[in-house]
Amino acid sequence: MCGIVGYIGKKDVRNLLLEGLKRLEYRGYDSSGLVVFSPTGFNVIKRIGRVAKLVEATSKNSAKGTLGISHTRWATHGGVTESNTHPHVSSDGKIAMVHNGVIENYVEMKKFLEIKGFSFSSETDSEALSNLIAYHYAKEKEDGEDTSRFFTAVRKALSHVEGTYGIAVTCVDYPDELIGARKGSPLILGVGKGEYILASDESAIITHTSNVVYLDDNEMVSMSRDGFRVVSAADEGIDPVINTIDWNIEDSEKGKFEHYMLKEIFEQPAALENAMRGRFSDDGSTAIFGGLNLTPRELRQIDRLLFTSCGTAWHSCLVAEYLIERYARIPVEVEYASELRYRNAPLDKNTLVFVVTQSGETIDTLGALREAQRRGYRTLAITNGVGSTIAREADGGIYQHAGPEVGVASTKAFTSQLLIVAMLALYLGRLRDMSYTDGAEMVKALRSVPNLVRETLKQDQHIKAIAAKYAGYADFLFLGRQAMFPIALEGALKLKEISYIHAEGYPAAEMKHGPIALICEECPSVFIATGGEIFQKVLSNIQEVKARKGKVILIHSKSCEVPDGLVDDTIIIPDAADSVMPILATVPLQLLSYYIAVERGCDVDKPRNLAKSVTVE
């Protein structure tokens, strides 16, 4: 959440910062601001609303410079006001700072600093840190320090912080230095020729350089136009590792599509192909994963799996539970990461912990991973974030290779996760009692998925017409059985996220244990029934809805026979193996939610109150 861009080099900094903020706007779009370091000092511009408002404001400002910092905000402490917008300049005018994260002890900081003569103009926790840096900066002068006074002031101020931060800081007396630091909030250094970019996401860097340093927690970086250095919180030098970004800026552009979300829905076949590439054995009977860092013998000793995540990724964990228990016969538990990290869950000593996260930076998932490691458990990650904190800290894992996902509501990252957990079920099953023949059949089914998704996407316009019929309703129920229950949850979440319609997901059989009280003409139900032994039972649940005059949209596979007149609208998906059916059933739900949101005039890519990567608690 929130986006940071900082720059020091030779280019005009204003346009570069604005370009970076536009690419990071999905991380927060309540307000935005920048500060340009000019010969006359700090030139600060802030605006409430989208980055476009800031672009308009800067076009009327003549200040130029080659050092600056900027921020696009997702509000935590304090409302959406210009005074709460970053950057925050210390009350003595010496320090300008942008901040992601939460300073938990900011109230105590403010009380201390007010006694010392500092004043506050915002409600934010961030301003307390900018003033604390200014306090230590003044104190360093009193103590006779000079050459590293700015850097030392930042380091000393951070030693008093309780909470999380990713910051970019400038000082009015140091026109040739930009400082960054992180703890719990991502920060990346882009390394160019005589220029450096500090950002919370690769997308703000990729147009200028593909060489990056991923800062770890409790690390600081100091940049000048001549070079940079990375040190620990204890001021110990660190040899930075320069990595290469493996995607192009074109991958994160909308192209011919109206919204990123629609583009990413249609990118799913390619994302699924990338998730599978090179991950099947030569004999075509099992999956292979090179990054688990566990031998087959070690994996056979595992008695239980724990999957933990947040939001959409949590739904993929629920699908993992169904698939792995069915095909590998290993007990699986699924926990919300936000709950797991704070509760004392008893785990068997032979438990393997999987964390699932698109960004690799989700703060609760990272906390759960660290807690599991503290207790001595092996941790593996499923993530799309190459170079992310979770990817670096986990004991091993599986990269999704889905490409950048800009739309706040996850689409291709989710179906990529579903495919990977199906491949994991295959891999673990073949280590146990799945036969060669069954394994080969499952590999065949998995390989068919991209083309089956392409076939499903051909119903785009049919689903758009259905969406137009239902866009005016205020409540929805999503219902499915077995592995379709998590998909029902995901369908309900998508509708809530981007169209602001109240929606709930339930196992279809649980409807009569309470939710059936909601059934009426004004509350449509979306059923997912893809065949199998419980198909007739789902049809009975539909009959119960129709008996109460409820409207029904049914998503079902091609070979399912549905009585004439039973449902109001149908969306037919291809026949496929049970192991991949959750992926196919997801696609119509994504399109349905998307087109309902468009019909209602909602901002699909930037839904209210949401941001892409949740890096604060």
pLDDT in tens, 45-91: 999 998 999 999 888 887 789 999 999 997 888 899 999 999 999 99
What pLDDT sits at residue 253?
A: 73
What pLDDT sits at residue 1?
A: 66
Which numeric CATH code is attached to 459-603?
A: 3.40.50.10490
d(CA 287, CA 420): 10
d(CA 516, CA 312): 25
Low pLDDT (below 70) residues in the chain: 1, 142-147, 247-252, 612-613, 615-617
Q: Which residue has the tokens 């400038």?
A: 170
116: which residues sit within 8 A by CB, 6+ positions away?
135
Contact 541, 510 (CB under 8 A): no
Residue 276's nearest CA partner among 411, 150, 449 is 449
271: which residues sit within 8 A by CB, 6+ positions away?
400, 401, 402, 403, 412, 413, 415, 416
What pLDDT sits at residue 158?
A: 96
d(CA 321, CA 324): 6
Q: Pairing relation of β-strands 67-73 and 31-38?
A: antiparallel
d(CA 401, CA 275): 6
> How confident is the model over 499-520, as pLDDT tens digits?
999 999 999 999 889 989 999 9
- The tokens describing 306, both together, are 């724990």
d(CA 31, CA 85): 6
- The tokens describing 440, both together, are 């080969």
| Location of each CATH 3.40.50.10490 domain in the chain | 252-447, 459-603
Residues carrying an active site annotation: 2, 612
Mean per-residue pLDDT of the chain: 92
- The tokens describing 50, both together, are 């989208």
Tally of CB atoms within 10 A around 215: 23
Distances (CA, A) of 67 to 5, 12, 485: 11, 8, 52
d(CA 564, CA 398): 45
| Location of each CATH 3.60.20.10 domain in the chain | 3-245
d(CA 89, CA 463): 50
What pLDDT sits at residue 144?
A: 57
> How confident is the model over 124-137, as pLDDT tens digits?
999 999 999 999 99
d(CA 351, CA 380): 11
Contact 135, 74 (CB under 8 A): no
d(CA 373, CA 253): 38
The three-point CA angle 161-172-24 to 5° equals: 65
Which numeric CATH code is attached to 252-447?
A: 3.40.50.10490
DSSP 280: B
- The tokens describing 335, both together, are 């926990």
What pLDDT sits at residue 203?
A: 85
What pLDDT sits at residue 348?
A: 86
33, containing H or E segment:
strand 31-38
262: which residues sit within 8 A by CB, 6+ positions away?
594, 604
Q: Is 522 helix (H, G, I), strand (E, B) or coil?
A: coil
Cα dihedral 551→556→561→562 (10° resolution): 0
What pLDDT sits at residue 496?
A: 97
Task: Assign domain 3-245 to a CATH class.
Answer: alpha beta
Beta bridge partners of 220: 181, 231
What pLDDT sits at residue 532?
A: 77
Contact 215, 230 (CB under 8 A): yes
What pLDDT sits at residue 545?
A: 94
Contact 206, 247 (CB under 8 A): yes
What pLDDT sits at residue 343?
A: 86
- The tokens describing 591, both together, are 């399109």
> How confident is the model over 390-448, as pLDDT tens digits?
999 999 999 999 988 989 999 999 999 999 999 999 999 999 999 999 999 999 999 99
What pLDDT sits at residue 550?
A: 94
Measured in whole angstroms, the distance separating CA 229 from the mean position of its chain's CA atoms is 29
Number of residues assigned to the chain: 617
In 537-580, which ranges are E strands? 552-557, 569-573
